[in-house]
Amino acid sequence: MDEKKILALFYHRSADAVTEAQNAYGGLLRQLCGNILDDARDTEECINDTLLALWNTIPPERPQSLLAYTCRIGRNQALKRRRDSHAAKRDSRLSLPLEELLSVLPAPSLEEQWNADQLARAIEGWLDAQSRTDRVLFVRRFWFGDPIREAAARVGLSEATASKRLQRLKKRLRSYLKEEGYLDE
């Protein structure tokens, strides 16, 4: 079922909405949440939480993209769950991609909220200038938390090539953010 029809089900408070959303996005959520969580049961619960959140928030929310909206909720649910359950230890699975960005993105300032928005827009501008392959590779790795091997497969690259491309992308992003004044020279 396409996105508009699923959204219509939500708007009409049809019980089928959740089922259809699960059919449409269950696999994607499983992968996304599974990248963040290291427990299959946690992942399943996270998917259920996400579907419940969809039910609870639509309406009044009217997302432009149900897919992206679902992914955002799923990702945040998974991150929250992971924070709660892994507060005392590090998990290399998602912390690795994020740590990779530590050297690229500027540190938060007092105006963190404002900066986060500005920075996201800047990153979008930079993403727009990249090839589709690089864009997808970057987002899959750092937003979806895909292992490099899986991100590489998405864009038809070998793991080694993707790894090098990601390194170059980070370097380019850092240069771009310097040029835009987000990072000190």
Partner 1 sequence: MSDHINDVLDRIGDRYIQEAACCRSVSVVRQRTVRLALIAACMAMLMTVGVAGWKLAIRPAMGSDGVRRYTYYLLDDIPENAPAQVETVWLPDVSVLDKDYALAFCNEKTIEAGTYLSTVYWGHSGGQISVSQFPLAVFESYTGKRASIHYMPDEIRRTELGGKEVLCEIRDGIISNVIWSDGSYCYLVHSSGYLADGQWGVLLRSFRPVPDYEEIAAAHPYYHPDSGTLETVLIPGFLPEDMGVFSWAVTPYCAEWSIYDEAGYGVAFEQTPLDVRNYYTEDGKIGPYYGGEVVDWFIVGRTVIYEGDCSGFWDYFWYEDGDRCQLRFDKETGLDFRPLAQNMIESMTRTTPADAEAFYACMK
CB of 79 to partner 1, least distance (A): 6
182 within 8 A of 122, measured Cβ to Cβ: yes
Q: Does 112 bind partner 1 (CB under 8 A)?
A: yes
CB of 136 to partner 1, least distance (A): 5
70 within 8 A of 21, measured Cβ to Cβ: yes
Distance CA 67, CA 146 (A): 17
Q: In this structure, how many other beta carbons lie within 10 angstroms of the beta carbon of residue 32?
A: 26
Q: Does 183 bind partner 1 (CB under 8 A)?
A: no
Alpha-carbon distance values, 52 to 8, 22, 55 (Å):
16, 10, 5
What is the footprint of partner 1 within residues 3-22 (CB under 8 A)?
Answer: none
Among 116, 129, 175, 179, binds partner 1 (CB under 8 A): 116
Site string for partner 1, 124-153 (x = CB under 8 A): x--x---xxx-xx--xx-xxx-----x-xx
What is the footprint of partner 1 within residues 26-85 (CB under 8 A)?
Answer: 27-28, 63-65, 67-69, 71-72, 75-76, 79
Q: Does 86 bind partner 1 (CB under 8 A)?
A: no
123 within 8 A of 183, measured Cβ to Cβ: no
> Residue 104 carries which side chain, given as an amino acid letter?
V
Q: Does 1 bind partner 1 (CB under 8 A)?
A: no
